[in-house]
Chains A and B, each alone.
Chain A
């Protein structure tokens, strides 16, 4: 009986450690991707095809990452950025190959989601700048997905 109690105690302790540490240890880019896809969901109803491929990684507060992407004039694009870190603030902006802001004014940032809307004026390479503006974590996972119609 005493042995059973000991096993129960250790199992509960392990479970507690798992629950407490999960966000820091087990959270991954996949979680961030789930959030990015969540942000994309309403747009699918508007006819946007969301790509299966995505970019992801981790950034410290104030750090930026640039992603280069070929966009085609005639299509309309949305880029959605997500992170699993609750109190993080992220942003995404799109620039053309000359470094000029190329996004529509209806992009948005809401806590751990952000989105940028592009209707390319020309076919070519564009730079998508993702940034973790602030975060309670030392490193913050991010994932960027995009859709087009």
Chain B
């Protein structure tokens, strides 16, 4: 007769074995990142609500004070429209956080108008409609999903006609607006964890590289953003150290200035 403890050990062993089979080979605990450099794919730029979600977990945020749904000017230069479109989509995510149905609906219309201005209106129409319908029903999860789909469809439509650079400007516009709001919230109620959300040096380098490859977009706002990113880099690229309140304030000043430049006529 097999003693109980041996029986138990045997069963545990078999279970562990089965678990290993189901989970496949164990991944190495450490890899050499430098060896991967040639095979690394581009980053997927996080959506503003990815950052807002993390921010929400740190404490209550008064999202209503960050809602913005004014129509703003119309631009004719496509890079400017692309930047503004990214900013307005980010405003949509802010309005969702604030559960402001009227602002979401206005933003939905604005997104559609801007998408038309840049020549990708057709791919956005169903999403804009879905945003407005979901806002009416106060189905915030659906609005969030449709805002993500809107950004993705805009960028896919742009990529299909080889307007990848404009597509990158949409992401940049959204990132700048998201960073402006993030720093504004953290500035008001500073916490080390909140400031740590700014630790995005690779993402910033990604945007810098992309902007350098756009010499044809010879617009003051593009140059202003390029210069500003150089200013922001040392403030957020701090390694293992904490990002201090002063740096958060500086990044907020810079991104607020850029946002003003994006949403207003020169």
A residues contacting B by CB (< 8 A) are 49, 51-55, 57, 64-70, 72-75, 89, 91, 93, 95, 97-101, 103, 107-110, 114, 122-125, 127, 129, 133, 146, 148-149
Contact = CB atoms under 8 A, between A and B. Distances in A.
Interface of B: 22-25, 27-33, 36, 39-47, 49-51, 53-55, 57-58, 141, 144-145, 148-149, 151-152, 193, 196-203
A124 B237 CA distance: 10
Given A123-B197, A149-B53, A67 B41 contact: yes
A107 B23 CA distance: 7
Contact of A127 (B22, B40, B54): B40
Nearest to A89: B24
Q: Sorted from nearest, which 7 A-B pairs have the closest CB atoms?
A: A52-B152, A74-B54, A109-B24, A93-B27, A72-B54, A66-B36, A125-B202
A101 B27 contact: yes
A52 B58 CA distance: 26
Given A49-B145, A123-B200, A68 B43 contact: yes
Q: Interface majority SS on A: helix, strand, loop or mixed?
A: strand
- Most A CB contacts (10 A, CB to CB) among B30, B49, B198 go to B30
Contact of A70 (B29, B40, B203): B203
Contacts of A93: 27
Nearest to B155: A53
Contact of B23 (A101, A109, A148): A109
21 contacts: A54-B44, A66-B39, A68-B42, A69-B43, A69-B44, A70-B43, A70-B45, A72-B53, A72-B54, A72-B197, A73-B54, A73-B196, A74-B197, A75-B50, A91-B27, A99-B32, A100-B29, A101-B27, A123-B197, A127-B40, A129-B31
A124 B199 contact: yes
Contact of A53 (B25, B28, B145, B152): B152
Contacts of B22: 108-110
B212 to A, nearest CB: 19
A76 to B, nearest CB: 10
A97 B148 contact: no
Given A51-B47, A74-B58, A148-B50, A68 B40 contact: yes
Contacts of A55: 41, 44
